[in-house]
């Protein structure tokens, strides 16, 4: 299992890193679009669509993404789109998580399918837009999610006593959430002081943008909000998988599960980061 995880990670890095560091943002947008299309296939499968028919939603996402790149729409997304995504994730996320896995399966199938595809589409648009802003900006957003996840795992293993959402994800704890948030704040401080101010980066990170516009006092609540939204994204996908009765969204990534298992926390964070960067 460990060897599979390592080999899969190496292959993904070999595809993503060169495209991310390319002179233009479009190679990265197209490579990540393949992953998002695969996520669309997984989402359709989790919500009762047959294996072959589930290819349709994935193809739809791919076509929509290629059109956005060709038309240049990616770099002209109104800020209102990102803020709408923030509100949607907070409201819909609260409703879905409060209802639990049993409630999700009672939602109309077309609504469930549309919500997931829209979330994937907007997240990919945000991902491509963030890369257009700059590699350093994009990495700061991605690393925020990874820091929240690693910090939550470590704190949960060491101190986890109070379950966060036992009916959705029994392994998660409130102590883990606190550990994840602490990791995000530490990352933000180090990124501003040790990366942006000492390295010849191509763009300001999300954290430096906050500090320059709102000060350190402004960075604190915004970083915590994104950390909280990463938890919402993680729990949302866990709820959908539990409702479908599966452990992983698919087996497309050997040793890692499916694409959705790797990007669930990013779905709300990417558009929300762009919304909050506009402050």
279 CB-near residues (< 8 Å, 6+ apart)? 210, 213, 214, 218, 222
Indicate if the pLDDT at residue 58 is higher than 70. yes
Q: What tens digit of pLDDT does each residue of 177-220 get? A: 999 999 999 999 999 999 999 999 999 999 999 999 999 999 99
Rounded to two decimals, the pTM is: 0.94
pLDDT-derived band at 273, boundaries 50, 70, 90:
very high
**What's the whole-number mean pLDDT along residues 95-123?**
95
Per-residue pLDDT tens over the stretch 66-102 = 988 888 777 789 999 999 999 999 999 999 999 999 9
- The residue extents of the domains of the chain are 2-277
């Amino acid at each position: 299992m460990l060897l599979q995880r390592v080999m899969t990670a190496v292959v993904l890095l070999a595809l993503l890193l060169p495209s991310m560091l390319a002179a233009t943002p479009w190679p990265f947008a197209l490579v990540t679009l393949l992953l998002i299309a695969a996520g669309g296939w997984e989402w359709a499968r989790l919500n009762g669509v047959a294996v072959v028919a589930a290819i349709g939603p994935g193809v739809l996402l791919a076509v929509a993404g290629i059109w956005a790149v060709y038309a240049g729409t990616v770099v002209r997304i109104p800020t209102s789109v990102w803020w709408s995504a923030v509100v949607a994730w907070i409201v819909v996320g609260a409703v879905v998580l409060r209802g639990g896995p049993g409630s999700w399966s009672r939602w109309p199938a077309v609504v469930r399918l549309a919500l997931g595809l829209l979330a994937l589409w907007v997240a990919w648009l945000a991902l491509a837009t963030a890369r257009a802003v700059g590699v350093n900006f994009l990495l700061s957003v991605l690393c925020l999610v990874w820091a929240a996840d690693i910090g939550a795992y470590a704190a949960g293993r060491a101190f986890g006593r109070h379950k966060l959402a036992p009916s959705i994800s029994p392994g998660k704890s409130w102590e883990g959430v606190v550990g994840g948030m602490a990791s995000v704040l530490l990352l933000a401080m180090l990124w501003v002081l040790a990366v942006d101010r000492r390295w010849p980066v191509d763009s300001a990170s999300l954290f430096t943008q906050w500090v320059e516009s709102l000060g350190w006092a402004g960075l604190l609540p915004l970083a915590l909000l994104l950390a909280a939204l990463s938890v919402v994204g993680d729990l949302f996908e866990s709820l959908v998988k539990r409702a479908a009765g599966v452990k992983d969204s698919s087996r497309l990534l050997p040793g890692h599960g499916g694409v959705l298992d790797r990007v669930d926390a990013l779905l709300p964070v990417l558009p929300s980061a762009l919304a909050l960067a506009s402050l």
